Amino acid sequence: MTDMPEHTGASGEGTMTEASGLTKQQVASLLAKNGILIAFALFIIVFTLANARFLSPDNVFSVVRSSAILGVMALGVTFVVVSGNLDLSVGSMMSFSTIVVLDLHDKIGPALAIPAMFAMTLCLGAIIGFLVGYLKLNSLIVTLGMLSAIHGLTLTYSGGKNMDIADKEGTWFSIFGQGEVAGIPVPILIFIALAALLGVVLSRTPFGRKVYAVGGNGTAATFSGIPRARTVFYCYLISAVCVATAGLIQASRSLGSQNTVGQGLELEVLAAVILGGASLLGGSGTIFKTVIGVLILGFIQNGLLLMGLQFYVQFVVTFVIIILAVWLDIAAKRGKLLSPIA
């Protein structure tokens, strides 16, 4: 893998014969495409050998359940990242959703509170989508600004206070976070259902195809009659729906919340998406891989806890794993381990 000559640099010169020169490339691209799965499998094996409890149904359940909120948000962010943009506002947007739905729960009842919260969150998503899609502003800065603005909005809305549901015992609202169907926790079901739905949308529908085209080469997409602005706009709407769903699960699970419940999640979410192998340049990544990325983060956290390590050790391990994952990914693509930067 170390010393393969540059291939892409030559594609403009001379003619290409397709048959030869593919073997090393195939190995590299195989590694690039499935490296994360291989790493995940190795990781599971090592931890299972170290601790038999690791793969027990109870433990797997608890990992998936604790990853569900992060996972649901990561599904939406995958659309945004594949379309070639970033979303750093999902954390504070999730705080907003949680606070709003908890507040409205007591004011207008859960049946109305939930759609109202979804509508408000979608409005925020629409604002970002408009700014990034139609006005073509840099998504990093826009969502960084929205991170701050939505945080302020949430604090204003709540008056700086924590939000609690008055009658925690008597509401059916808790089913989204605490309920079970056929022994499976509802958050897991929501995560699986949403992942399946969005996975199909991204991989099988015309819309999904457009997302890849816009992220892969926005200009070429425009020249092919793909409405670039609208496609990006929809990606942010999807992200907002996912955030609202995550907020719903969070609110339902705790029935009370701080203003800052989602703080910092945007980075964990992005980490999961990147771990799944989506390129920040856009045009690559799948829902399935994002789910793997989410599970890796969840299992790392869990595995380290089982080993008796503190929660913050996972921060450091996550750091190392993200860098390694992205590094190996691009190393496989360029055919060299070290970057060619002098």
Partner 1 sequence: MTDPVLRLEHITKTFPGVKALDDVSFSVLPGEVHALMGENGAGKSTSMKVLGGIYQPDEGAIFVEEERTVMHGPLDAKAKGIVFIHQELSLAAELTVAENIYLGELPRRSFGRVDWPTLYAKTDAILKKLKVGFNARTRVGDLSIANQQMVEIARALTVDAKAVIFDEPTASLTDAEKVVLFDVIADLQREGVGIVYISHRMEEIFKITDRITVLRDGQYVGTVETAASDEEGVTNMMIGRSLDLSRNTSHHDLGATALEVRGLSCGKLFQDVSFEVRRGEVLGFYGLVGAGRTEIAETLFGLRDPSAGDILLDGKAVRISSPQDAIAKGISLVPEDRKGQGLVLGMNLRDNMTLPQVDDLRAGPFVAEGAEIAIYDLYRDKLNIRAPGWKAEAGNLSGGNQQKIVIGKWLSMKPNVLIVDEPTRGIDVGSKSEIHKLLRRLAAQGYAVIVISSEMPEVLHVSDRIVAMYSGRVMRTFTSEEVTEDNLIQAISGLTGERAA
Partner 2 sequence: MVSSFQSGALSKLMKGGAIWGFIVLQLIFFSVAGEYLALTDTAFMDYENMLLLLKQSAPIGIIAMGMTIVMVNGNIDLSVGATFAIAAIILLDAMTWPIFAGLGDWVIPVAWLLALAVGTILGALNGFIVWKTGVDAFIVTLGAMLGYRGIVFMFNGENPTSHLNWTLVDFAEAQFLGLHTATWFLLGVTIVMWFVMTRTVHGRNAYAVGDNREAAVNAGIRVGPHMMINFAIIGFLAALSAVVFYSETGSVNPNDGQLYELWVITAVVLGGTKITGGAGNVIGTLGGVIAIQLLRKGLGHIGADTSTVNLVIGCILIAVLFLDRQLNVKGKEALKV
Q: Which of 169, 223, 311, 312 binds partner 1 (CB under 8 A)?
A: 223
Residue 12 touches partner 1, criterion: CB under 8 A? yes
Residue 7 touches partner 1, criterion: CB under 8 A? yes
CB-count exposure of residue 36 (10 Å: 0-12, 13-18, 19+): buried
Residue 228 touches partner 2, criterion: CB under 8 A? yes
Q: What is the CA radius of gyration of the chain?
A: 21
Enumerate residues 269-288 that contact partner 2 by CB under 8 A.
270-271, 274, 280
How far apart are CB 265 and partner 2 at their closest, in Å?
A: 12
Choose among partner 2, partner 1, none what residue 8 binds, the Cβ cut-off being 5 to 8 Å by kind: partner 1
Query: Among residues 148 and 224, whose Cβ is nearest to partner 1?
Result: 224
Query: Among residues 24 and 189, whose Cβ is nearest to partner 1?
Result: 24
| Burial per residue of 106-129, b for 16 or more beta-carbon CB atoms within 10 angstroms, e otherwise | eeeebeebbeebbebbbebbebbb
Closest by alpha carbon to 91, among 151, 2, 163? 151
Chain centroid to Cα 305, Å, comes to 23
Residue 263 touches partner 1, criterion: CB under 8 A? no
Tokens 């004011």 sit at which residue? 107
- Residue 259 contacts residue 186 (beta carbons within 8 Å): no
Query: Among residues 66 and 263, whose Cβ is nearest to partner 2?
Result: 263
Residue 2 touches partner 1, criterion: CB under 8 A? no
How many Cα atoms within 13 Å fall on the side-chain side of residue 59? 17
Span from 176-184, 188-196, 266-274, 282-290 in contact with partner 2 (CB under 8 A)? 266-274
Q: Which of 105, 210, 253, 289 binds partner 1 (CB under 8 A)?
A: 210
Spell out the long-range contacts of 43-52 with Cβ–Cβ below 8 A and sequence spacing 24 or more.
43/296, 43/299, 43/300, 43/303, 44/299, 47/299, 47/303, 47/306, 50/307, 51/303, 51/306, 51/307
- Residue 79 contacts residue 211 (beta carbons within 8 Å): yes
Q: Which residues bind partner 1 (CB under 8 A)?
A: 4-22, 24-25, 200, 204-206, 209-210, 212-213, 216-217, 219-227, 283-284
Q: Which residues bind partner 2 (CB under 8 A)?
A: 131, 135-138, 140-142, 144-156, 160, 218-219, 222-223, 228, 263-264, 267-268, 270-271, 274, 280, 310-320, 322-323, 326-327, 330-331, 334, 338-342
